[in-house]
Amino acid sequence: MPSFAAAESASWKMAVDMSEVRFLTSAGIGTLVTLHKSCRAGGGKMAVFGLAPEIVELLKITKLDRVFTIAADRAAAVKAAT
């Protein structure tokens, strides 16, 4: 189980920058899902931004685009997570 100390210290309100991610394994997807669930359980929200087209397509294929809040940029993600 990954440590989400930063998320907890931010009251479970997270804007996740994915701009450097070009490939996402099942472990990475699992970590995002776990973080999302932890944020919701902690009374917060999570939004992701900076997604490469390949990652957007992956989220659509897995239907996670319906689960995650996908924002256009950092400002929109911060606003969506608060």
Task: Tell whether the model's pLDDT for residue 1 goes beyond 60.
Answer: no
Residue 76 forms part of a structural domain: yes
pLDDT tens-digit profile of 3-50? Answer: 788 888 889 999 999 999 999 999 999 999 999 999 999 999 999 999
Give the range of the structural domain holding residue 61, as residue numbers without chain letter: 21-81
Residue 5 forms part of a structural domain: no
3-state secondary structure 15-57: EEECCCCCCCCHHHHHHHHHHHHHHHHCCCEEEEECCCHHHHH
Residue 36 forms part of a structural domain: yes
CATH of the domain at 54: 3.30.750.24
Residue 10 forms part of a structural domain: no
Report the alpha-carbon distance of residue 62 to residue 58 in Å, rounded.
6
Residue 13 forms part of a structural domain: no
Q: Which residues pair with 25 in a beta bridge?
A: none
pLDDT tens-digit profile of 50-78? Answer: 999 999 999 999 999 999 999 999 999 99
Instruction: Give the chain's domain count.
Output: 1
CA 3 to each of CA 15, 16, 31, 72, 74: distance values in angstroms, whole numbers, following the listed order:
16, 15, 10, 27, 23
Residue 35 forms part of a structural domain: yes
Task: Tell whether the model's pLDDT for residue 2 goes beyond 80.
Answer: no
